[in-house]
Chain A
Amino acid sequence: MAKRIDQAQVRKVAKLSRLELSESEVEEFTGQLSAILDYVEKLNELDTDSIEPLAHCLPINNVFREDCVRESLGTEKTLANAPQRDGEFFKVPKILDDSSGA
């Protein structure tokens, strides 16, 4: 039987998930995810055409509060766990390519 998800799809999902997978992981996950997706097919035994989706068990309403200034963490605490920082900023690699003249 054909696998429910193939290696190309697994690579695509990995890219969407921002996960760099090794070749052996791609192979392993293709088999395992296919088995799981085969299993969840059983949901199609149920006719749900007239059933509303239930995303959450509580009646979810917007919860409003007064828009007032409150104490916040502050710069030092916020940056304390940063893997790399530059003064008051989180440091990341260059996002724009210099060669494009941007």
Chain B
Amino acid sequence: MEELSAKELRDKIVAGRISSVEATKAVFERIEKLEPTIGVYISTFEKHALAKAREVDEKIAGGESVGQLAGVPVAIKDVMCINFGATTCASKILENFRAPYNATVVEKLLLADAVIIGKTNMDEFAMGSSTENSGLKRTVNPWDTNRVPGGSSGGSAAAVAGWLCFAALGSDTGGSIRQPASFCSVVGLKPTYGRVSRFGLVAYGSSLDQIGPITHTVADTALMLNVIAGHDPADSTSVEEKTAPVGDFLERLDEPIEKLKIAIVPQFNAGADQQVQKALSEAIEVYKKLGAEIIEVEMPHLDYAIAAYYIIATAEASSNLARYDGVHYGHRTQNPGDYIEVYSKSRAEAFGKEVKRRIMLGTYVLSSGYYDAYYLKALKVRNLIRGDFTKAFEKCNCIVMPVSPTTAFKIGEKVDDPLKMYLSDIYTISANLAGIPGISIPCGFDDSELPIGLQILAPAFDEDKLLRIARMFEKETDWHKRRPAIEV
């Protein structure tokens, strides 16, 4: 069963060849075996999941119609609200928080008859690139347990790679789906900003955050996107159907794009490790053999993406995280001297260092006297970066580049140097600033058998083509079939 993709499992469940209860029990057996080593789940819902699995099995036995994810065990990053368990954001401040409602994506998963089995570990409030900033537990990379799984959706990526679920949801503010997908050799998609509702996604950088799938195959990502995409009246930044129709992303997935034109940014890519560059060149060769034309483009402002991002994202975070006040929900300090200390002590006691650092940086760049020099400047550079993409996409269908300059780094390697950690986001961040979709798909391994991802970026709301381009590569290669040797 572990060899099945989510879509294959769904088909077998619908055909009555495997029951959802069997599949769910198999996943929980695997969790029992591997969770102590990999550490992906902050919470699991075995009873709840089995009840849902039985419900789906009964529907199928009774000849009733079922949803697109019928009986498939899926995991969600612990940054999305559920009304049947905890939502912690891997933070001590929300350790005991139970949301009174489901995020829209959770409602959609349940409506599609998915079996939600648990909530995955992450960098606290999605701030980080290694999942080491979790305030609650440690997740390791299933390909090398001395290394990080990437972040911030490291738990979701490691859960998919380790087959501790059949598919997962992550969230991506600056690369938090694509980079861990790359580190763990799975598929990860950041959809266009506005494609998926953010209602019930705990906010970090609201103009950048987007929920997306992490899966074994491109088809599974298409399937998950089918379920979660679409307008939501509860999220005024989710785009209306008439602007961005949600079709069936699986329908034409196997149709290659004719006269495919792919752009590369040679100077920008030169910053990646040799082995990452080599894997990228080989991936480009695969597309050439498929008849794609490769063109070179200049995108002079991409080098400024990290600087712009860490001003904009932290500014938004400082505002978004003001809600953790020790009054309405979350941790509250014992015996505060006055009401100010309710805020300042509660927050000091329960936020981790990276969260404090980003709140501080965001508060600073928004503060009187610095707003124009930092925040406004960054917003202008954001416009230049988006302009680079607009110009590039006039000449091509997509841009390919690395996901990360390196493969998975060692646990502890970058924790004491936040700037060094930020710099590892160089290839992923600009898609968030420009609001465009990006995918990471497995494209090779380095000499230490660590996975390398290929990133493909497409114009806004062009997920259909983006997935087909990714599928063209996947069909020609076997990288996505390799499995980590994490049997204990």
B379's closest neighbor in chain A, by CB?
A: A53
Residues of A close to B125: CB separation below 8 A? none
A76→B83 CA distance, assembly (Å):
14
The residue that A51 contacts in the complex, of B236, B303, B383, B422, with Cβ under 8 A, is B383
User: CA separation between A54 and B318, bound complex, in Å?
Assistant: 19
Please, which residues of chain B bring their CB within 8 A of the CB of A36?
A: 310, 361, 418-419, 422
Nearest CB of chain A from residue B365's CB, rounded to whole Å = 8
Of A44, A51, A93, the contact of B339 (CB 8 Å cutoff): A93
* Bound-complex Cα distance A55 to B371 (A): 13
Q: Which of B149-157, B171-179, B326-334 contacts A (4 or more CB under 8 A)?
A: B326-334
Majority secondary structure, B binding face: helix
Instruction: State which size class the interface on B falls in.
Output: 35 or more
Q: Report whether A20 and B348 are in contact in the complex, using a CB–CB cutoff of 8 Å.
A: yes
A27: CB under 8 A from chain B? no
Q: Is the CB of A48 within 8 A of B381?
A: yes
Write out, one digit per residue, whether chain B residues 333-352 have a CB within 8 A of any chain A CB (1) or not (0): 00010111111110110010
Residues in chain B near residue A80, CB distance under 8 A: 98, 100
Decide yes or no: A33 and B357 within 8 Å by CB, A13-B363, A18-B347, A42-B307 being known contacts: yes
Tell me if B336 and A93 are in contact (CB < 8 A): yes
Residues of B within 8 A of A1 (CB): none
Contact B304 A73 (CB under 8 A): no
CB–CB A92/B342 < 8 A = yes
Is the C-beta of B207 less than 8 angstroms from some C-beta in chain A?
A: yes
Check A17–B379 contact: CB distance below 8 A: no
Residue of B nearest to A5 (CB): B364
Does the CB pair A57–B327 fall under 8 Å? Answer: no
- Digitize B346-382: 1 where CB-to-A-CB distance is under 8 Å, 0 elsewhere: 0110010100110111011001000000101111111
Are B383's CB and A53's CB within 8 A?
Answer: yes
Contact residues in A for B193 (Cβ distance below 8 Å):
57-58
CB contacts under 8 Å to A, within B430-478, are 433-435, 460
- Inter-chain contacts of A14 with B (CB < 8 A): 360
Given A33-B360, A58-B193: A20 touches B344 (CB 8 Å cut-off): yes
Nearest CB in chain B: distance from A54 CB, A: 4
Residues of B near A78 (CB, < 8 A) are 100
A29 CB contacts on chain B under 8 angstroms? 356-357, 360
- A84 and B335 alpha carbons, distance in the complex (Å): 12
Residues B383 and A32 in contact, CB atoms below 8 Å apart: no
The answer to whether B327 and A42 have CB atoms under 8 Å apart is: no
- Judge whether B237 and A90 touch: CB under 8 Å: no
| A64 vs B271: C-alpha distance when bound (angstroms) | 46
Contact B345 A54 (CB under 8 A): no
The interface bits of chain B over 386-397 (1 if a CB of A lies within 8 angstroms of the residue's CB, else 0) are 100000000000
* Contact (Cβ within 8 A) B342 A93: yes
Does A8 make an interface contact (CB < 8 A)? no
- Asked whether B460 lies within 8 Å of A73 as measured between CB atoms, the reply is no
> Within 8 Å CB of A57, what residues of B?
193-194, 207, 386, 433-435, 460
Contacts of A43 in B (CB 8 A): 304, 307-308, 311, 377-378, 381
Question: Which chain B residues lie closer than 8 Å to A33 at the CB level?
Answer: 357, 360-361, 364
A92 CA to B328 CA, complexed, in Å: 10
Across the interface, name the chain A residue whose C-beta is closest to B340.
A18
B328 touches A94 (CB 8 A): no
Given the contacts A36-B422, A43-B378, A83-B330, A65 and B363 also touching, CB distance less than 8 Å: no
Please tell me if the beta carbons of A52 and B383 are within 8 angstroms of each other in the complex. yes
**In the assembly, what is the distance between CA of A93 and CA of B332, in Å?**
12
* Contacting pair A18 B207 (CB below 8 A): no
Contact A40 B374 (CB under 8 A): yes
Q: How far is the CB of A69 from chain B (nearest CB, A)?
A: 16
A26 to B341, CA, bound (A): 18
Please list the residues of chain B having a beta carbon within 8 angstroms of any beta carbon in chain A. Answer: 96-98, 100-101, 193-194, 207, 233, 236-237, 239, 301, 303-304, 306-308, 310-311, 318, 322, 325-332, 336, 338-345, 347-348, 351, 353, 356-357, 359-361, 363-364, 367, 374, 376-384, 386, 418-419, 422, 433-435, 460
What are 23 of the A-B contact pairs (CB < 8 Å)? A13-B367, A16-B367, A18-B344, A18-B347, A21-B356, A29-B360, A33-B360, A33-B361, A36-B310, A39-B306, A39-B419, A43-B307, A46-B304, A48-B380, A48-B384, A51-B384, A54-B382, A60-B237, A73-B101, A84-B332, A94-B338, A94-B339, A95-B339
